[in-house]
Amino acid sequence: MFEKELQNIINNISANSDSLHIFGEYAEYMYRNDYFIEGEHIRTANELILPLLLKNYNPNTVLKEKYSYEDYLPICEFLRNFLTLRDAIFYSYADNKAVTWDIDENHIKVIINDDSILRQYASEMMVFSLNSQNLPYDEIEADPVKLLKGTAHFDFDDMNVVKAFSTIESIIDWKIKYYFSYIPESSDVMLDGYKYSLFIDVYKKILTLALYERYFSKANNLSGVITYREDELLGQAMQQHPEENVNTLKKLFRDIAESSRSTFNYIPIENKFMLYPTCFSLVDGISNMLRYFAKTNPNSFSRNVSEIMGKGLVDKIKLKFEQYPNHRLYSNVKLDHFDPKLPDIDLLVISYEPSLGFHVFIGEVKNNLPAVWGKDYLKAAGEKGFITKAISQIETIKSFLSTDSGLMFIYNLAIKAFPNLELGLLFPYGVCIIVDTLIVSSQSVGMFFPDNKIPIMDGDILCHIIDESDGDTNYILFHIKGHSDFINNCTSRKTKVITIADYTIEYDIITLNKMLALSKNEFVSVGAIEKIEKESLDSGYTMAGALRHLGNKDYYMDNEDMPQNMSLFVIH
């Protein structure tokens, strides 16, 4: 049904430059006029139809059926529905309980039974929103749209244009900070015939063009779609990289286009590129290129990129925690000397908690390329799924930490992490250690794992939480443990009804009622640690002392093999 309708559209649309321009301009128009959601829907619809038009491209083709300009909007709506329901088909094949299909003659009802699927979509919108906050420029003095209003195209004699480009440079650095940029920009690691550093430099040049054209078209209410001759772009690139072979640069431009998710399209028969600037500037071109490299050259990707990529998210989170003096970080902690079957701990975070003792995060980190469609999401689940593996590893580590050896391991690590603490003075009745487990992913927040109890966090959201926490572990725990509920409170499930040929189809969608926001906390910066520590010393109160006062010996240990100042060890 959908395939037949799609083929009819392809047959009746001219596969030429005009059609490519119209589809791109529809998305650009929506973005330009602040219809962001509509722009996103059209942009993703273009990912389906534009490769098919490019495959059949003929500059001299004529229409078999006349489409008016207004007809393209319902076509894009159909394409968007096609993509959504195609994903649902993949999900139901993977798990027939996750999605059910109720068919009654010409009426089809698609029911998402697994709330984690819709929660994943909502979480990604939340991540985009959080990443888009705190613009890196003064919105009054340096807004590029305001600066470019009424200017001539690329008029560098106009100081407003110069200022706009300065702002654009800061925006690029800000954007790439939130892109999948875990490989150093100066890295000489080889992609498919060119260095990563060369790719980044050329990509940033295209991104500069895209952002300028995006803001210029919005400022002056002009069409946003731009066409470049291939030799024009190559000439500029050769001036900036005279040491490079022209064929290397030619391949690089074409690879960026091929990986761009139809936002920067190469037309071979005419040797030209068509750029949709707003669309291009909104998608993560770095992860797109790495995904393309992994698809076209999987062995080289595994050999050259995977290890760097895997380590990158761990290092990013580590830096976030290390900004606070009450936290100590360890990564890739080996446990095989206890048992060769034990996995490494990707991230182990110890915080000093006055009057309590220590808090420990045990984190498994899975830094997979961000998902684009249903098949990507399914890589998390199943017997070999990366989230399946992470859950298994966490459970194995928890079992080990419940043993005497595991307890001693955490205790000794915590004591060594803060060697300057006077434990006898601060904790005369013993220390308490609380351990919480966590899975951090660049792709999943628990999609297809509705019954899982281990928190699964998006890496970007976790970094935002740590930034806003000011080093307060309770703040971090509150947001980690409540994240799914927060998303549920911001969203609602609705049913969308569409008609395709003779069929009526209902399917579940998620809508946002409000956006997730994080309040700025104050803790380390206002001396809270010192204050709590002083109150504990002045009053004589500690958690261990309170538990011993209750007389419950389950809360402390008299075993000769245990440290005598260990009072409580809890693993969540």
Give the pLDDT mean for 331-347.
Answer: 96
- For residue 252 the two structure tokens come to 């690089």
- For residue 145 the two structure tokens come to 């749209």
3-state secondary structure of 404: helix
Tell me the domain boundaries of the chain: 1-94, 134-179+184-304, 306-571
Q: H/E element holding 365?
A: strand 357-366
What are the two backbone dihedrals, phi and then psi, of residue 442, each rounded to the nearest 5 degrees?
-90, 0
Ranking 202-216, 228-242, 554-568 by mean pLDDT, the lowest is: 554-568
The Cα–Cα gap between 209 and 168 comes to 9
The Cα–Cα gap between 62 and 341 comes to 65
Residue 263, burial from CB neighbour count under 10 angstroms (0-12, 13-18, 19+): buried
Residues in contact with 386: Cβ distance below 8 Å, sequence separation at least 6, in sequence order: 366, 368, 379, 380, 441, 443, 444
Tokens 């199943």 found at: 382
Q: Which residues does residue 440 pair with via DSSP β-bridges, in sequence order?
A: 365, 457
What pLDDT, on a 0 to 100 scale, did the predictor assign at position 61?
80
Give the pLDDT mean for 236-246.
Answer: 96
Position 381, amino acid = A
Cβ-contact 275, 27 below 8 angstroms: no
What pLDDT, on a 0 to 100 scale, did the predictor assign at position 344?
97
> Is pLDDT of 523 > 80?
yes
* Residues 135-178 pLDDT 10s: 888 888 999 999 999 999 999 999 999 999 999 999 999 999 88
> Is pLDDT of 306 > 60?
yes
Q: How many C-alpha atoms does 184 have within 13 Å on its Cβ side?
A: 5
> Is pLDDT of 569 > 80?
no
What pLDDT, on a 0 to 100 scale, did the predictor assign at position 89?
92
> Is pLDDT of 565 > 60?
no
The conformational region for residue 506 under phi > 0 = left, psi -120 to 50 = alpha, else beta, is beta
> Is pLDDT of 36 > 60?
yes
> Is pLDDT of 564 > 50?
no
What pLDDT, on a 0 to 100 scale, did the predictor assign at position 66?
61
Ranking 288-292, 334-338, 379-383 by mean pLDDT, the lowest is: 379-383
> Is pLDDT of 531 > 50?
yes
What pLDDT, on a 0 to 100 scale, did the predictor assign at position 180?
84
The share of the chain scoring above pLDDT 70, in percent, equals 95
* Residues 91-133 pLDDT 10s: 998 888 999 999 998 999 999 999 999 999 999 999 998 888 8
The Cα–Cα gap between 81 and 382 comes to 26
Residues in contact with 44: Cβ distance below 8 Å, sequence separation at least 6, in sequence order: 80, 83
What pLDDT, on a 0 to 100 scale, did the predictor assign at position 72?
83
What pLDDT, on a 0 to 100 scale, did the predictor assign at position 568?
57
What pLDDT, on a 0 to 100 scale, did the predictor assign at position 235?
96
The Cα–Cα gap between 222 and 211 comes to 14
What pLDDT, on a 0 to 100 scale, did the predictor assign at position 73?
84
Cβ atoms within 10 Å, residue 474: 12
Q: How confident is the model at residue 544 (pLDDT cuts 50, 70, 90)?
A: confident
Look up residue 526 and give its DSSP letter: G
Q: Taking the C-alpha atoms of 347, 348, 352 and 357 in order, what is their torsion angle to the nearest 10 degrees? A: 150
Look up residue 368 and give its DSSP letter: P
Give the pLDDT mean for 465-471.
Answer: 98
What pLDDT, on a 0 to 100 scale, did the predictor assign at position 556?
46
Cβ-contact 277, 231 below 8 angstroms: no
Residue whose C-alpha is closest to residue 72's, from 8, 19, 4: 19
Cβ-contact 274, 267 below 8 angstroms: yes
Q: How confident is the model at residue 557 (pLDDT cuts 50, 70, 90)?
A: very low
Ranking 148-162, 292-306, 482-496, 535-549 by mean pLDDT, the lowest is: 535-549
3-state secondary structure of 222: coil
The Cα–Cα gap between 524 and 134 comes to 22
The Cα–Cα gap between 32 and 26 comes to 10
* Residues 408-423 pLDDT 10s: 999 999 999 999 999 9
What pLDDT, on a 0 to 100 scale, did the predictor assign at position 555?
47
Q: How confident is the model at residue 572 (pLDDT cuts 50, 70, 90)?
A: low
Residue whose C-alpha is closest to residue 317's, from 443, 119, 466, 215: 466
What are the two backbone dihedrals, phi and then psi, of residue 172, each rounded to the nearest 5 degrees?
-65, -45
Give the pLDDT mean for 394-406.
Answer: 94
The Cα–Cα gap between 171 and 354 comes to 41
What average pLDDT is seen over the chain?
91
What pLDDT, on a 0 to 100 scale, did the predictor assign at position 558?
46
Residues in contact with 478: Cβ distance below 8 Å, sequence separation at least 6, in sequence order: none
Tallying the residues shown for the chain, one arrives at 572
> Is pLDDT of 553 > 60?
no
The Cα–Cα gap between 562 and 94 comes to 47
What pLDDT, on a 0 to 100 scale, did the predictor assign at position 554?
53
- For residue 512 the two structure tokens come to 């946002």
The conformational region for residue 365 under phi > 0 = left, psi -120 to 50 = alpha, else beta, is beta
| 345-353 vs 327-333, strand pairing mode | antiparallel
> Is pLDDT of 503 > 60?
yes
What pLDDT, on a 0 to 100 scale, did the predictor assign at position 559?
45
Residue whose C-alpha is closest to residue 16's, from 44, 49, 56, 48: 56
Residue whose C-alpha is closest to residue 524's, from 321, 331, 315, 317: 321
The Cα–Cα gap between 21 and 26 comes to 9
Residue whose C-alpha is closest to residue 368's, from 177, 180, 116, 196: 180
Give the pLDDT mean for 41-45.
Answer: 95
Give the pLDDT mean for 564-571.
Answer: 57
